[in-house]
């Protein structure tokens, strides 16, 4: 049970880091993504802060908006570990 929880937390961390990376790469703000998904900005903020994650249907929409395969949102690429830090300096991307 504990290993399962750790994998879920790892996946959530990887998703948040990659979402931040791709938002930054595409010049899309948190508010822009939320609007395009028909959600409020707090929902996207929760994803970026690893408090929750999107459902499968929303994942597909996110990938389409960012023009990346869904697998890119879960790639464990440590080179992207600084993406979240860079995003915090861009106004409107992370609350």
CB within 8 Å of 76: residues ≥ 6 apart: 10, 14
Please tell me which residue, 12 or 3, carries the higher pLDDT value: 12
> What's the DSSP call for residue 87?
H
Whether the pTM exceeds 0.85: the reply is no
pLDDT digits (tens, 9 = 90+) for 70-83: 999 999 976 555 44
Please state, in angstroms and rounded to a whole number, the distance separating the CA atoms of residues 69 and 84: 20
For the chain, first and last CA: distance in Å? 32
pLDDT by residue (tens digit) across 5-47? 576 678 999 999 999 999 999 999 999 999 999 999 999 999 9
pLDDT of residue 79: 57
61-67: average pLDDT = 98
């Amino acid at each position: 049970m504990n290993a399962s929880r750790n994998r879920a937390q790892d996946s959530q961390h990887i998703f948040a880091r990659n979402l931040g990376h791709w938002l930054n790469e595409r010049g899309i703000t948190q508010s822009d993504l939320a609007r395009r998904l028909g959600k409020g900005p707090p929902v996207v903020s929760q994803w970026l802060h690893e408090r929750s994650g999107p459902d499968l249907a929303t994942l597909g929409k996110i990938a389409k908006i960012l023009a990346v395969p869904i697998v890119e949102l879960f790639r464990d690429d440590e080179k992207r570990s600084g993406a979240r830090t860079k995003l915090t300096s861009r106004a409107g991307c992370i609350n």
